[in-house]
Structure 1
Amino acid sequence: MIIDYLDKSAAADYQADLCVIGAGPAGIAIARSFIGTSTTVCLIEGGGLAGEDRSQSLYEGSSAGSAPFDAGTSRMRVFGGSCTLWGGGCIPLADTDLEPRDWVPESGWPLRYADLAPWYAKAREFCHIDPAHAFGPGSFEGPTPRAPLDLDPEAMVNFIFARSPITFGEAYRDTLAQASNITVLLHANVMELRATDNASAVTEATIGSLDGRRGHVRARHYVLAAGGIENARILLLSDSVATHGLGNDRDLVGRYFMDHPSGAIGSIRSERPDRLTRPYERSIGKVRASVASEIGLSLEAQRKHRTLNARVHPFAVEGEVPRGIRALREVRAALRPPTRDEATLLEARLSAALQNGPGGAAALAMPQNLAISAMRLGLHLGDVIRAVAQKVGDKPTVSSDRVELVGFFEQAPNRDSRIMLDDTRDALGLRRVRVDWRLTELDRHTHRMLGALTGQRLALACAGRFDAAAWTTDPNSPAQVHGTAHHMGTTRMAEDATQGVVDTQGKVHGVANLHVAGSSVFPTGGWAFPTFTLIALSLRLAEQLRVLLDVV
């Protein structure tokens, strides 16, 4: 069942066998694993079924690092989690992402691809990816809608990712609502995890709503699945017994914060830019491809040049838009009903903040008169007819001004890159987050090498000229990168409690009944989109919990 904690007729306190905090993909995957069993699950979500500005404001925080970071717009507080806004990209990690690398300090997972492979298979089902799309270490299998380029293996390789066609909140809301052993609490914000006197076990999760209700959830086991930032924040806020935060005896909670920094590494000007961009487009017309290719640094290049992992995507930037096409866009915009509801406006604002590619032509102003736009369309209908012919021939309808090469980078583990608590407080009276996001010299070296290794080679593919971005060639220039909302590392996994917050099963070291799910447990991130791996790990954790809870 689904209960809104803002409903004053609902109970204030709850009891369950398993308490899962956060109804994003990790939390939903774990809760769903118990449907039909005798185990009772309470799934706690701080947001509602749709985005709300008031709930979203609880995610706001400050930025303290050398790289600016906005904690309020890089995630979404809603049932379904931040993946409500995701593009669906799924790809597994490879052993080369999981193994220690002697040139990457503190790299390496205590797991290998073979440990994750069966859970990746279950994650594929959970994500509704067609089982015809087989996968192996680091890639799905093709064929892709368009053949990728034949790349120089000394520098680059093609990887294939699959696209999940679902958003998890929509796909699994009714299933969870109808499950007799699952209770979903909306608008219930976890304020603290209370622990025994020696902080060796959690006794309850205290919850509160923005209208002042307070209560608790008691369970046998607890799972933090609230995201890479909020997982650390909740542990740090849980300080009534463990004064530095629960599970933080060794000052590791919140440290090693990583994202996938992204930035334009240069541009290519060519008479035939589509030769480079079309093979890597993710849609055929208006239909999004179920699999698509990405260009990644080859392992050989990483080893030779001692870089982190990275990928580069060629984005076509539109040149001058023909008048007929411009008029057609104006007519379509005028006929589109204006957006007024809070959830859609919030999603649009967050999506704009998370934009991971360059903008195209300048946004068109809303036409003042539909009739005038329609008249312009009629006068320049030939432009539209030519565009249709181009589309039929699988060619761009508007010629590109240039190709922008955008890099997406693995980030080196860095103890000093971290999530902390700020002195300011949110509407619940809880300390907000302070994000100290830092890049290392190895990060900067990787940024520079990606441009050096890929720019000229990709320009040759379309007989073009590559111009490197100044920040990638000048070591004294600040990195022109931003985050991509892939928050990782803040409760990293390690067999040794002095090296990580959770063990190989996802249990917090020293706390018997507390577990963590999500990409906050990643020791390193590779370049891959993290959602597929975090779901696989969550399903693996769910199986461990079934054993601990004696589920049959």
Structure 2
Amino acid sequence: MSGGRPPAESAEPVRDGATDRTPVADADVCVIGAGPAGGIVADRLAETGREVVILEAGPRFDDADRLARQERAIRPYYDRPAVWDGDPERDAYSSTGERFYPLNHARARGVGGSTLHWQGMVMRLHEADFDSRSVRGVGADWPIDYDDLRPYYAAAERELGVAGSQDNPFAPPREEPHPMPAFPPSYSDSLFAEACEELEIAMHSVPNARNSEPHDGRSACVGYGTCQPVCPSGAKYDATVHVERAERRGTTVIDRAPVQRLEHTADEITAAVYATPDGEEHRQAADAFVIACGGVETPRLLLLSESSRYPDGLANSSGLVGKFFMDHCFAGTGGVLDEPTRQNHVGFLTSESHQFYDEADAEYAPFKLEFFNYDGPSPIEMALTGDDWGDALLERLREGYGNHIGMGGLVEQLPREDSYVALDPDRIDDRGNPVPDVHWTVGDRALRTIERVNEIQERILAELGAELTWQVGPDNTGPAYHHMGTTRMGDDPAESVVGPDLRTHDLENCWIASSSVFPTGGAMNPTLTIAALALKAADHLLEAL
């Protein structure tokens, strides 16, 4: 099997002959978090010659270990957090909402962040998502509209390397083709297409941040099929692409350096206090700071940085830091057919439908339909979980593999003040800090919409002649692990945490690049919007510098 990732030009940041986690002198910008937002911001700033330092709480993973991590991922002995060295004590959290939120199931700490294990789908939000209150009568309006973000969407698609097509008649307008052609429909997509044609449901391709052809020095997808939680070939984008590019431009990356608190004056951050593996604490000073820790750790850090000036948490004069926590709710239905479906041959989505998305109103949320390529157990999973061998195993594989088929869907959750991230007063992490408490409240609109999604999925699978074997509906829905909304963007400092320029209202030298700034979530996977907002934040920061 050919192809693979080019080696990084440097591994650990090495200064003075050894791994050096001491602060960088005369830093222009300190970026906290080495995920896609932090990586993109750092790269854009470093390109202009700025002195940038990235502080990342987790480790730097060796690309050479990715095959071993893939093998770990397919073995039933390991749970998903173990693939990227999850640490229950370091990553401790609480969940006290009406629904349990399994935060660590899809959390990766390290250089690359959540893109180390994401699936890689990258859609733009629809135009009405930016004007939910005005158009749909619920939620909130963003202080920017689709046209404001449109050039940044195009730039983000170039930065990530997106394979896509213009075959989606329901997508918002765009200005240029995707950088690479879309992946072709899978075999099971063709089965779905026959049923959807009868039901007059449109299918179209999925834009993916993975290479359909060699691109940006990385190979085309070679079909490992384990995209979530690990891509050994590097064909799927992850944030190490931008972090390593920023390093080549002079950025310093300090890994295993969790920021404990932010020191500040009345209107500026003066330093990020971070810990190192040897138990020491250091102060990284800078002219400007970018918090890019995601929708949970970003509000947690601000709340941990409380002071007499900000007794309720830093940048929290509005009282809204941590409030309006949102995720996308999952709806799914699956079954079996009396014919091969070739599921588990492709590890990502190649077809979906946005046909019903813009029918959203106050009663029903926007949603998209997903046509799975990976329902049912894989042959490896079946072989490793049974007690039979030889002919008996072969017979079980023949009878139980290859005829599963499934659908998914993402549903918008409205922003609610009773859905939030707070500090747990009774539980601490390995550094003695209060852990995040995720209080997840979904709401009736999302639950009604999940029922509607299930009904459409049942119609499609019935048209296929499938026997239904599972369903995720309103009662057992779970999150898509898209953390949004906890430092929302707005024009009014009393009703938001950051302005349209992504700078906090309270602090002159602090920007937030994260899905935490989303006023609403829509029903599209958020990473492309995160990348677009990161580019926008970088532009505003450069103007300020």
> Does TM-score exceed 0.5, indicating one fold?
yes
Q: Secondary structure at the match of 1:35?
A: helix
Larger radius of gyration: 1
Give the alignment partner of residue 252 of structure 2, picking from 170, 183, 199.
183
Q: 1:158 to 1:209 in 2, by over 3 A?
A: same
Determine the C-alpha separation between the residues in 2 that align with 1:21 and 1:189: 9
Give the alignment partner of residue 3 of structure 1, picking from 13, 24, 29.
13
TM-score (norm. length: structure 2): 0.76
More strand by share: 1
Q: Secondary structure at the match of 1:29?
A: helix
> Which AA in structure 2 matches 1:179?
R
- 1:295 counterpart residue number: 353
8 A Cα contact 2:90 2:430, kept in partner: yes
1:81 is the counterpart of 2:113: yes
Q: 1:174 to 1:299 in 2, by over 3 A?
A: closer
- 2:365 counterpart residue number: 307
- 1:194 counterpart residue number: 263
Q: 1:455-511 CA distances to partner (integer Å, 9 max, x unpaired)?
A: 214422x14466885x74xxxxx7202222211111111112222211111111121
Q: Secondary structure at the match of 2:385?
A: coil
- 1:441 counterpart residue number: 444
8 A Cα contact 2:182 2:205, kept in partner: no
Determine the C-alpha separation between the residues in 2 that align with 1:527 and 1:510: 30
> Which AA in structure 2 matches 1:168?
D
- 2:493 counterpart residue number: 497
Deviation at residue 95 of structure 1 after TM alignment: 0.1
- 1:342 counterpart residue number: none
Matches within 5 A, 1:142-541: 145-146=184-185, 149=193, 150=196, 158=204, 160-164=206-210, 165-180=235-250, 182-196=251-265, 198=266, 200-240=267-307, 241-264=309-332, 266-268=333-335, 270-271=337-338, 274=341, 292-296=350-354, 298-299=356-357, 301-303=359-361, 306-314=364-372, 317-318=375-376, 363-365=384-386, 373=390, 376=391, 398-400=401-403, 402-423=404-425, 424-460=427-463, 462-464=464-466, 469=471, 472=473, 479-541=475-537
> Which AA in structure 2 matches 1:193?
L
- 1:95 counterpart residue number: 127
Give the alignment partner of residue 31 of structure 1, picking from 42, 45, 70.
42
Q: 1:174-208 CA distances to partner (integer Å, 9 max, x unpaired)?
A: 4333323x111111111111111x3x211111111
Q: 1:272-311 CA distances to partner (integer Å, 9 max, x unpaired)?
A: 584xxx7xx7x8x56x68x822134514643496333343
Q: CA RMSD in A?
A: 3.7
Determine the C-alpha separation between the residues in 2 that align with 1:270 and 1:305: 34
Determine the C-alpha separation between the residues in 1 that align with 2:421 and 2:258: 19
Structure 1's unaligned 5+ residue stretches are 330-359, 388-395, 473-477
TM-score (norm. length: structure 1): 0.75
Q: 1:213 to 1:138 in 2, by over 3 A?
A: farther
Give the alignment partner of residue 137 of structure 1, picking from 161, 168, 172.
172
Q: 1:219 to 1:316 in 2, by over 3 A?
A: closer
Q: 1:112 to 1:12 in 2, by over 3 A?
A: closer
8 A Cα contact 2:164 2:182, kept in partner: no
Determine the C-alpha separation between the residues in 1 that align with 2:516 and 2:457: 30
Determine the C-alpha separation between the residues in 1 that align with 2:88 and 2:537: 28
Larger deviation, residues 531-540 vs 102-111: 102-111
8 A Cα contact 1:257 1:417, kept in partner: yes
Identity of aligned residues (%): 27
